[in-house]
Amino acid sequence: MLTAEQNELMTRTGPGTLMGNLLRRYWIPILLVEELPENDCPPVRVKLLSERLLAWRDTRGRYALTDEFCAHRGASLWFGRNEEDGLRCAYHGWKYDNTGACVDVPSEPEESRFCSKIKLKSYRLVESGGILWAYMGPPELEPPRPAFEWIDLPPAHRYVTKRWQECNYLQAMEGGLDSSHVSFLHSGELHTDPLHRGTKGASYQRDRRPKFEVIESAGGLKIGARRNAEPGHYYWRITQWIMPWYTMVPPYGDNALNAHAFVPVDDENCFVWTFTYHPTRPLSASELDTMRRGGGIHVEFIPGTFRPIINKDNDYMIDRRAQKAGRTYSGVSGIAMQDAAVQESMGPIQDRTKENLVSTDNAIIMARHRLRRAALALENGMAPPGLAPESQRVRSATFVLPFDVPFAEARREELKARAGVAHTSI
């Protein structure tokens, strides 16, 4: 468990907090590129790490991420006119360029140069892999662009969504580090979901007593969960955790790889990004249809929003009859919403002083330690881990090994992203 002070450090990510300072040193996925579809399109409200911002795209196609509020009297610039290479406040006409610099104050004489003294807070916003990424840290310390495998694949090889989740980012992320719950919470879907059923890996989940081996990597952790397979062999599920909030989900059969990012909106809400991608082939029409209908680890959305149709306001549409009959273990439909339901049930910010951890929680313990250690080290001028491109070019995997063969040594190369080479999965 954590002390109250440690839990506070880990979960608070607003401006000036230790964890907030750390998270601002990474590129952050904030929007799908289609949310700003064309030059001079309407701006989009963005709340990120408890800061209220606007994302927009100017006449020349340059992306901008600026303070939501006009420096004059605080009106929201979401009502503004996006035109002629700038965003003009609808209240009194003050205008700002894509860097947040004020370029026009109509009520003041031009020779006063008043507007040269005004500048909104602004951050870098770039497009890569169909995603808009923000960098909120010191400009002189901007890291290399994100290098995750799905970014460089052809668009037909990937499917990316984001969903609103109503809890702190940490408890959502910790669910992604925990392979032991798969044998319980998701046990029904492993045998009914089109992207899981019929695979050998799904059948091995019947062993509900996994043993964990967790190894630090350059950018995070390699998390090995082993279960009994055929005589003399273990079935291994290898999850990659990449600082500060990425988890790479172990695959099933020839199905695509999956990864998540758990990005804080504020201290009580996050966006869960889901990246589904195949290194060597386009995703099929059947796969895409399944995911759009809430299969795999995706969800169906309330039209025009990023909020799932299944949510806490309707008790996650829990079906007690299905639960009792064994069709789903929890009564909640869909892998993603099963995770969300139990994570949101902990409250907006879980009280970790009351938990009782066991051996299957070792990955969670180590990830907390590494995040906390990195936040404290940053205060002493040490650069965070996980910024280098090579630390992001990794894969999850599933395989079977003899009892006496360590997973990290036997399958070292298969835990790296290799262009044109299929991932390892059973």
Domain assignments of the chain as residue spans, ordered by start: 33-141, 149-415
Residues of the chain with pLDDT > 90, as a percent, come to: 88
How far from 299 is each of 59, 160, 290, 302, 338, CA to CA, in Å? Answer: 34, 11, 10, 10, 11
Q: Residue 203's pLDDT is what?
A: 82
pLDDT at 414 over 90: yes
Banded model confidence at residue 17, pLDDT cuts 50, 70, 90: very high
Q: How far is CA 54 from the centre of its chain?
A: 20
Residue with tokens 């901008």: 64
Q: Which of 60-69, 112-121, 194-203 has the lowest mean pLDDT?
A: 194-203
Q: Check whether 200 has a pLDDT greater than 80.
A: no
* pLDDT (0 to 100) of residue 233: 94
Average pLDDT, the chain: 95
pLDDT at 146: 97
Which of 100-109, 165-174, 189-198, 389-398 is predicted with the least confidence, judged by mean pLDDT? 189-198
Q: Residue 254: which pLDDT band, with cuts at 50, 70 and 90?
A: confident
Strand-pair partners of 9: none
Residues contacting residue 141 through CB under 8 Å, at least 6 positions apart: 25, 383
Alpha carbon distance 352, 11 (integer Å):
11
Tell me which of 371-375, 388-392, 394-398, 411-415 is least confident: 411-415
Read off the pLDDT of each residue in 364-381 and give the average, rounded to a whole number. 97
How many Å apart are CA 104 and CA 111, to the nearest integer? 12
**CA 9 – CA 17 distance, rounded (Å):** 8
| pLDDT at 201 > cutoff 90 | no
Nearest-CA neighbor of 382 among 22, 49, 139, 6?
22
How large a percentage of the chain has pLDDT more than 70? 100
- Greatest alpha-carbon span in the chain: 85
In this prediction, residue 363 has a pLDDT band, given cuts at 50, 70 and 90, of very high
The predicted structure's pLDDT at residue 408: 84
Q: Hey, what CATH topology would domain 33-141 get?
A: Rieske Iron-sulfur Protein (2.102.10)
Q: What is the mean pLDDT of residues 350-361?
A: 95
Contact 407, 401 (CB under 8 A): yes
Predicted confidence (pLDDT) at residue 189 exceeds the cutoff of 90: no
Read off the pLDDT band of 197 (50, 70, 90). Answer: confident
What is the pTM for the complete model shown?
0.95
Q: Which CATH class is domain 149-415?
A: alpha beta
Q: Is the pLDDT of residue 229 over 80?
A: yes
Looking at the chain, how many residues does it have? Answer: 426
